[in-house]
Amino acid sequence: MAEQSVVLEQVEAGIYRLLVNRPQALNALNAATLAALDQEIAAVAADSAARVLLLSGGGEKAFVAGADIAEMQSLDATQAAAFSQAGMRVMHALEALPVPVIALVNGYALGGGCELALACDWIIASERAVFGQPEVNLGIPPGFGGTQRLLRRVGRARAMELVTTGRQVRAEEALAIGLVTQVVPPTALMETGLAAARSIAAKGTLAVKLAKQAVQRGADLDLANACAYETAQFALAFATADQKEGMRAFLEKRPARFSGS
């Protein structure tokens, strides 16, 4: 039986891991892998018990080394648009997940792989991680949202430099420019991701979802409207059992037992 190109597993209660599993191709994103990612992301979205998603790549060399060039090279413009749209659907689906998504990057995250990591809420990188948008070396620009998400992550000038030169960025520089939030030894990558996931899973479930929505929505609004949206999210939380339990537990000096309702 052929190996699955994408594997979804529940690591612990509420914590999922989504693995791009084509190590022989450095986990390159072809059409079939994009379709599989779309399907598994939908499965996480449909699970009301989900709390966090960790996203990683199989093997030692790459998170995702890029889109599959062998598949792309013969596309015409119409086919290329469809391929770009398939990639965009995956990235939008990741962003739209109600729970936090953390990319765990070990090795190469180039082209479509960098774009996949950027669609996650934040990135934890191993010391071996390498990021970049090298599409200009192939005669094309990024096509899965890289120009836009990189711009929002590291700023206009840095994004312009990286997408027009195709320069690769190693882990420590990625940390310095705000592309990643943490750099750890390769052997500590998964445990660091799990520790973050466990911390999130222990918090008020609906509060985490409301906070994520506020950050995402507010990024595209002016400050006054963004703050008004935050007020609406804040007020909505007071209609939940989790708010009552969280504040009661604080006053009673005990751990909260959140139900997600």
94 near 45, Cβ under 8 Å? no
- Answer whether 41's CB lies under 8 Å from 94's CB: yes
Q: For the beta carbon of residue 44, count every other beta carbon within 10 angstroms.
A: 20
Cβ atoms of residues 159 and 151 within 8 Å: yes
Q: Is 230 a catalytic residue?
A: no
Active-site entry in 60, 71, 127, 135:
135
Q: Convert the chain into a string of H (helix), E (strand) and C (coil).
A: CCCCCEEEEEEECCEEEEEECCHHHCCCECHHHHHHHHHHHHHHHHCCCCCEEEEEECCCCEEECCECHHHHCCCCHHHHHHHHHHHHHHHHHHHHCCCCEEEEECCEEECHHHHHHHCCCEEEEECCCEEECHHHHHCCCCCCCHHHHHHHHHCHHHHHHHHHHCCCEEHHHHHHCCCCCEEECHHHHHHHHHHHHHHHHCCCHHHHHHHHHHHHHHCCCCHHHHHHHHHHHHHHHCCCHHHHHHHHHHHCCCCCCCCCC
Active site (annotated) includes residue 161: no
What's the full length of the chain, in residues?
261
- Given the residues 40, 115, 173, 252, select the one marked as catalytic: 115
Q: Catalytic residue positions?
A: 115, 135
